[in-house]
Structure 1
Amino acid sequence: MSKSAKQGSLLVALLPSVILYVGAIVLLALTRESLGGTVHYWEIFVAVVAVISLLSGWGQTYAANRSYLMYLIKQFIHWGLLIGVLWMFQTQGISSALGDQKYTLVLLYLLSMSAIVAGLYIDFKALFFGAFMAICTYLLAAPANVSILEPIGKTLRIADPQTKPLTMIIVMGVIAFVAGALVLISVRGSIMAKRSRA
């Protein structure tokens, strides 16, 4: 395979993560302006995350010699449960009882925790996305507690990070994306090594 073909296939492999992080950052920016006004977009985004998660773990499954069928079953159960819980919230009046603002935060925390759990036992890249979403959701839920940004800003040499929450969200998104990309590159290396041995 030529060098340009390898680079092209790496870019194609990174595209789902790019969509995931760009979509999350855009929605987080909109949610900062109107916490309850973006709830329907987040509901759609949960389905997008589920599809991307389903597609992005195939390589890791192959590299680890795991069953594709078990991978699919785990993914469908995992994301199906989250979507089922959100559907129950809608149909049983829980979302309207909470109100759009609180329901948006509940949805984001559920998405964060689901991504973290998926990262722990299905696809490690999802762990970084889940951690990113958890920190961002905390910032949305408790905007007065932006002091959490101080150590991150100090580490990254960003002055007054508390006054720049959107900038910090973008920076944290880029860091999480890079960490996930490194895992992807590692998995692709394992796949190429496995194919060369075969």
Structure 2
Amino acid sequence: MLALLPIIILYAVTIILYALTREDLAGTASYWEYFVPVVAFISIITAWANAYARGDSRLLYLIRQIIIWGAFLWMLLTLQAAGVEAALGSEKTTITLILMLAMVAMLVGLYLDAKMFFYSLFLGLCGYLLADPANVAVLGKIGETLKIEDAANKPMMMIMLLAIGTFLISIFLLLSTRGSVAARRSR
């Protein structure tokens, strides 16, 4: 259960930040900025076993993670120092930050940890819905698939259901990694 805690934190905080951002898009950029290192840390610790299960060097894995997340944090600091928030405005800065975080999480997910890939899809959808709230029709399509009536008018419920779905996929991936690690250790 302890292995699930970082993933639970990741999804719970994302849902909370999504809800806060829906209420005040301009005022939540700093919350998302503080969340970026949390996502990076969770990404690093939750995929540590993947390197072992695949037979990769843990040092090489750690270097890759540090390069990816370090470059992203460096880019965010550089953009902040260049005054991008003043140029774009707080609302666009928040959306850009969320979508960039989703993109980096997808990169990490594709190359190092599949759990982050599914999280990035969830975060990308959150960013998309925040960028253009009029496009909640996509939730209607998802709701039809899941047999949920009037899903487009229930964005928070749909976000929570999608978070649960991607969380369950993450649990499956975590358990399969644990099984690979156990098999590798028994050899």
Which TM-score tier does this pair reach, normalised by the shorter chain?
A: over 0.9
The residue aligned with 2:57 is: 67
Give structure 2 stretches of 5+ with no counterpart.
Answer: none
2:134 is the alignment partner of 1:144: yes
Deviation at 1:98, TM superposition (A): 0.8
Match of residue 30 from structure 2: 40
Match of 1:193 among 177, 183, 186: 183
Cα-to-partner distance string for 1:5-37 (whole Å, 9 max, x where unaligned): xxxxxx100100000000000000000000011
Aligned to 2:146: 156
Cα-to-partner distance string for 1:80-103 (whole Å, 9 max, x where unaligned): 111111101111111221111000
Kindly provide the amino acid, as one letter, of the partner of residue 133 in structure 1: L
- Percent identity over the alignment? 47
Per the alignment, in what secondary structure is the counterpart of residue 37 of structure 1?
helix
What does 1:72-91 align with in structure 2 at a 5 Å threshold? Answer: 72-91=62-81
**Contact 1:90–1:96 (Cα < 8 Å) also in 2:** no
SS state at 2:26 partner = coil
Query: Structure 2: how far apart are the matches of 1:33 and 1:62?
Result: 42
Q: Report deviation, 1:64.
A: 0.2
Runs of 4+ displaced beyond 2 Å: none
Question: What is the alpha-carbon root mean square deviation over aligned residues?
Answer: 0.7
What corresponds to 1:178 in structure 2? Answer: 168
- Deviations 1:107-126 (Å, cap 9, x if unpaired)? 00100000011000011110
Displacement after TM superposition at 1:151 (Å): 1.9
Residue 112 of structure 1 corresponds to 102
**In structure 1, distance between residues paired with 2:52 and 2:21:** 37
Relative to the length of structure 1, the TM-score reads 0.93
- Give the partner amino acid of 1:97: A
How far 1:196 sits from its partner (Å)? 1.3
CA distance in 2, matches of 1:17, 1:42: 17
Equivalent-residue separation in structure 2 for 1:41 and 1:145 (angstroms):
24
1:152 to partner: Cα distance: 1.0
